[in-house]
Amino acid sequence: MKRSLFLLYGVFCYLVFLGVFAYAIGFLGSFATPTQLDGPLVGSFWKALAIDLGLLVLFAVQHSVMARPAFKRAWTKIVPKQLERSTYVLFSSVALIIMFAFWQPLGGPIWDVMDPAAKGTIYLFYAVGWLVLFLSTCLIDHFELFGLRQVWSYFRGSSTGEPTFVTPGFYKLVRHPIYVGWIMIAWFTPIMTLAHLVYAVVSTAYILVAIRWEERDLIDVHGESYLRYKRAVPSLIPRFGRSAEAAGLAEQV
């Protein structure tokens, strides 16, 4: 019974994530969802800005603090280790749901692309950002990243094993392709409003800080293997002229 409940909980958390993921495509793209990132300002500008910044900080703190090893060690004294990742995914999803519900558009378009071909091209790159983000999670084990592998292994009575360091696909070009997708999603929009700019700037700043925290943890876990990889492969912007060399060094880790 316990194993079945753990599995059901993990599946529930993953389904919540899928719903949030789908909603986020419309919310950030400002189409097909009841609440959207862009829109006219209603009420006080400074109050709306304070709410939006608070929502972004809430997500950033939750997303980073719960991912740190020290927090995980303390957290797994309360939450079973098999459910730690699923619970992280659920909390991240809830933080995004809160943002979807309470986000305040600020009006003030900074740019508004009217040409149909240009607008279509921008939306294409927006879609590519989502595709890069999703495929990057699959390359490093999508189901482990979102907690399903842990609850499934527990249900079967098997071990998930120790984490291994691999650099498949996009990871031979950049160290953080998930963040590359996230940045593309934030910036590729045919209508850039003040609220969208706030989201894009804060998200990009968060990514640059989060990379330093994450890589510190990765070095602690993987040691010299990750340091060699870090020297060979750029963080966010590919160096295509050195891609073959970088790929060869990445394979050695």
pLDDT tens digits, residue range 146-183? 999 999 999 988 876 666 788 888 999 999 999 999 99
Name the token pair of 220: 């602690």
Instruction: Tell me the pLDDT tens digit for each residue of 181-229.
Output: 999 999 999 999 999 999 999 999 999 999 999 999 899 888 899 999 9
Question: What is the rounded CA–CA span in Å between residue 214 and residue 220?
Answer: 10
What DSSP letter does each residue of 59-101 carry, written as one string? HHHHHHHTTSHHHHHHHTTTS-GGGHHHHHHHHHHHHHHHHHH
List, for residues 40-63, the tens digit of each pLDDT value. Answer: 999 999 999 999 999 999 999 999
CA distance 3 to 244: 45
pLDDT of amino acid 158: 82
Length of the chain: 253
Summarised one tens digit per residue, pLDDT across range 69-101 is 889 999 999 999 999 999 999 999 999 999 999
Instruction: List, in sequence order, every residue forming a beta bridge with 111; answer none if it has no partner.
Output: 192
